[in-house]
Amino acid sequence: MEPGQIKYNSAFASEVAGWFEAEKFDYRRLEYSGFDAFCLSENEGITIICIDLHTWSGRIPAIHPVLSSPLLPGEQLLVIWEDIWYRKKEIVKSRLRALLGFSTRIPARLTRVRKIDKPTADSFLDRHHMNGSTAARYRFGLFLPERHFGKLPAGLVAGSGDEILLAVAAFAAPKIFRHNEIPYKSGELIRFANHSGTTVVGGLSKLVEHFARTYRPDDIMTYADLEWSHGPSFQRAGFKLAGQTAPIAFLVDSDNFSRYPRHRLDNKVIYSASRPLVSVTNAGSLKYVRQFRHSAPPLPQKDDVPPRMLRKGPPYDLVVVAGPTASGKTSLAVRIAYELGGEIISLDSRQVFKGMDIGSGKDLNEYRIDGQDIPYHLVDILPAGTPYNVHQFKSDFREVFRSLLEKKKPVIACGGSGLYLQAVLNMLTEMDKAPSILIIGLNPPAETRRKRIRVRLLKRLEEGMVEEVKRLIGGGVPEEVLIGYGLEYKYITLYIQGKLPYEKMVSSLLSEIVRFSKRQMTFLKKIERSGYTIHWL
């Protein structure tokens, strides 16, 4: 049949029919809840519904309840939105060809798994996945060696070198949960895509199992888009249906077909649109979960720190993250605590005080990762100005440390106060049973440290560090005590007293923080010379 001889509800559906003709797919034209639809004779169980924005606008068709209801064996409903067709046309065509059995099939056993970087994964997903790239912690690819290129179309391997990337999987960092007081680690597969025109048979299983052996989650969850699949590929990979998510609302610009999640929409987008955006709603997703037993040995990972801790359970009673200021200690400590299900004890001499937030660099927002709050200790335990010294700190640290050990909680200590770190190390060696300690040291190049210090200082001043010092003074903290705290509190107090102009205060403070970072490194080297091993990054 000729698409031009049939009157379609939209030019979009007519174009889809024209592509069927060009591909020599036999089809029957249907109408589904007012939309153009097609049944392909290559697979009588597949019905494709073309949703154009004009017909959709202003009403909610009865398509989504049908999509989410149980289907007969072999029956499948697919939805192609007009905006998705025009923005991701080649990916849509590739998905349809694969569903109809017209893609090149490559056994996963011929491919090799390798970790890939973010640019490589993002580029691949943008070209081969309907939803494009995504934020992810871990990314793996399946590479086909040159000796197997004969199994692929010639145009696919042109200029690819000695291997070609055929599939990519992106995973979120596993999260630690507790069930009946027993911790377990749950991972998430966020994206999986084959190279357009190909299907790596068993590729999904190979990538999921590699991730599981490497990071040892107790389960991995993922989601199947109801508009394209009820998840048979996940079922073949060992996943089991575990639930269903609600539909998600979007707004679509009918001029350029850009799609925006309603809950994340920027008002600038609304104001810049030449006409009102079209409100659409997808069909939601099915949630799948695969359980694992950790009988296989973990795979080595050189770029994760420290890998044996993250997969076999911590062989140390205490992990210390040390380094000069602005070296990234907090973010690394939070990541390790997240991976281990542990808690953090601060080694900072000024973060013990309430109200000294910006100047002491508490950065409490960093203690939340992937939606999970990481517990921390010895922060905000005393009013500012209260006398406190290293001896009191040792006592407080010992109490928290022993409590966490009794709870069998991994303990991560983090901070840049050298005297406090030295006091902790001395105290632990004096215990009846000396605990095992791993010390990780961060040591960025000097010029990098200086740049970070400058950027951070200017940012903290913009965030209200001067106002913070004024509040402390107004709250009764003596100015001489603030000066005694040093660095930010010293120089800003001198500025407030009129003893330093603002520009001089900033430049002097920058120079003093840089010198302080050098002294921190000197102190850590001294600790190292005294017999402690520091694993420098």
The domain that holds 503 is classified in CATH as 3.40.50.300
Q: Which single residue is written with the structure tokens 């973990």?
A: 298
Q: What is the rounded average pLDDT of the residues 264-292?
A: 78
Are 212 and 129 contained in the same domain? yes
Residue 271 lies in a domain: no
In angstroms, the CA 206 to CA 308 distance is 22
* Residue, of 416 and 63, whose pLDDT is higher: 416
Residue 353 φ then ψ, to 5°: -95, 135
Distances (CA, A) of 473 to 359, 384, 468, 497: 14, 10, 9, 11
Residue 267 lies in a domain: no
Q: In the prediction, which pLDDT does 16 show?
A: 94
The verdict on whether omega for the bond into residue 306 sits within 30 degrees of 0, i.e. cis, is yes
**Burial class of residue 470 in the structure, from the number of CB atoms within 10 Å of its CB (0-12 exposed, 13-18 middle, 19+ buried):** middle
Q: Which of 99, 119, 135 is the last residue of a domain?
A: 99
Shortest CA distance to 342 belongs to which of 309, 365, 370?
A: 309
Residue 465 φ then ψ, to 5°: -65, -35
86 has a pLDDT exceeding 80 = yes
* Residue, of 263 and 313, whose pLDDT is higher: 263
Are 365 and 454 contained in the same domain? yes
Q: How confident is the model at residue 264 (pLDDT cuts 50, 70, 90)?
A: low
Residue 270 lies in a domain: no
Per DSSP bridges, beta strands 259-261 and 249-252 are antiparallel
62 has a pLDDT exceeding 70 = no
Q: How confident is the model at residue 288 (pLDDT cuts 50, 70, 90)?
A: very high
Residue 72 lies in a domain: yes
In angstroms, the CA 33 to CA 49 distance is 9
Q: Which of 49, 78, 99 is the last residue of a domain?
A: 99
Q: In the prediction, which pLDDT does 307 show?
A: 39
* 3-class secondary structure, 466: helix
Residues 408-426 have pLDDT tens digits of 899 999 987 889 999 999 8
Q: For 320, how many CA atoms within 13 A lie in the half-sphere containing its CB?
A: 29
Residues 515-532 have pLDDT tens digits of 999 999 999 999 988 888
In angstroms, the CA 517 to CA 342 distance is 28
Residue 120 φ then ψ, to 5°: -65, -45
Q: In the prediction, which pLDDT does 56 show?
A: 84
138 has a pLDDT exceeding 80 = yes
Shortest CA distance to 140 belongs to which of 206, 49, 92, 44?
A: 206
Are 44 and 130 contained in the same domain? no
Are 239 and 311 contained in the same domain? no
| SS3 sequence of 252-315 | ECCCCCCEEEHHHCCHHHHHHCCCCCEEEECCCEEEEEEECCCCCCCCCCCCCCCHHHHHHCCC
Domain of 518, in residue numbers: 300-537
Residue 272 lies in a domain: no
Shortest CA distance to 318 belongs to which of 226, 258, 402, 259?
A: 402
DSSP annotation of 298: P
Q: How confident is the model at residue 280 (pLDDT cuts 50, 70, 90)?
A: confident
Q: In the prediction, which pLDDT does 226 show?
A: 86
Are 234 and 311 contained in the same domain? no
* Residue, of 180 and 445, whose pLDDT is higher: 445
Residue 526 φ then ψ, to 5°: -65, -45
How long is the chain? 537
Are 407 and 511 contained in the same domain? yes
Which residues on adjacent β-strands are paired with residue 322? Answer: 441
Q: What is the rounded average pLDDT of the residues 70-97?
A: 82
Q: In the prediction, which pLDDT does 303 show?
A: 43
Amino acid at 493: T
Residue 268 lies in a domain: no
Q: What is the rounded average pLDDT of the residues 265-292?
A: 78
Q: For 479, how many CA atoms within 13 A lie in the half-sphere containing its CB?
A: 11
Cα maximum dimension of the chain:
90
Residues 344-368 have pLDDT tens digits of 999 999 999 999 999 999 888 889 8
Q: What is the rounded average pLDDT of the residues 502-507?
A: 95
Q: In the prediction, which pLDDT does 125 show?
A: 96
Pick the range with the lowest mean pLDDT from 307-311, 403-407, 423-427.
307-311
Number of folded domains that form the chain = 3
* 3-class secondary structure, 242: strand
Amino acid at 31: E
Are 186 and 327 contained in the same domain? no
Q: Which single residue is written with the structure tokens 């692929």?
A: 152
Shortest CA distance to 29 belongs to which of 53, 4, 54?
A: 4
Q: How far is C-alpha 536 from the chain's CA centre?
A: 25
DSSP annotation of 258: -
Retrieve residue 476's tokens.
Answer: 């009764």
Q: What is the rounded average pLDDT of the residues 199-228?
A: 92
Q: In the prediction, which pLDDT does 42 show?
A: 58
Q: In the prediction, which pLDDT does 272 show?
A: 66
Are 23 and 77 contained in the same domain? yes
Per-residue DSSP letters for 347-371?
--SSTTEET--TTTT--GGGGEETT
Q: Share the mean pLDDT of the chain.
A: 86
Cβ atoms 84, 54 nearer than 8 A: no
Helix residue spans in 25-73 (DSSP H) = 53-56, 64-68
Q: Which of 233, 260, 291 is the last residue of a domain?
A: 291
Q: What is the rounded average pLDDT of the residues 55-82?
A: 63
Cβ atoms 319, 413 nearer than 8 A: yes
Are 78 and 114 contained in the same domain? no
* 3-class secondary structure, 419: helix
Q: In the prediction, which pLDDT does 140 show?
A: 97
Are 35 and 124 contained in the same domain? no
Q: What is the pTM of this model?
A: 0.55
Cβ atoms 324, 523 nearer than 8 A: no
Residue 346 lies in a domain: yes
Residue 263 lies in a domain: no
Residues 5-29 have pLDDT tens digits of 567 888 999 999 999 999 988 888 8
Are 346 and 483 contained in the same domain? yes
The domain that holds 215 is classified in CATH as 3.40.630.30
Q: In the prediction, which pLDDT does 64 show?
A: 55
Are 155 and 304 contained in the same domain? no
Q: Which of 28-37, 64-73, 451-460, 522-531 has the highest mean pLDDT?
A: 451-460
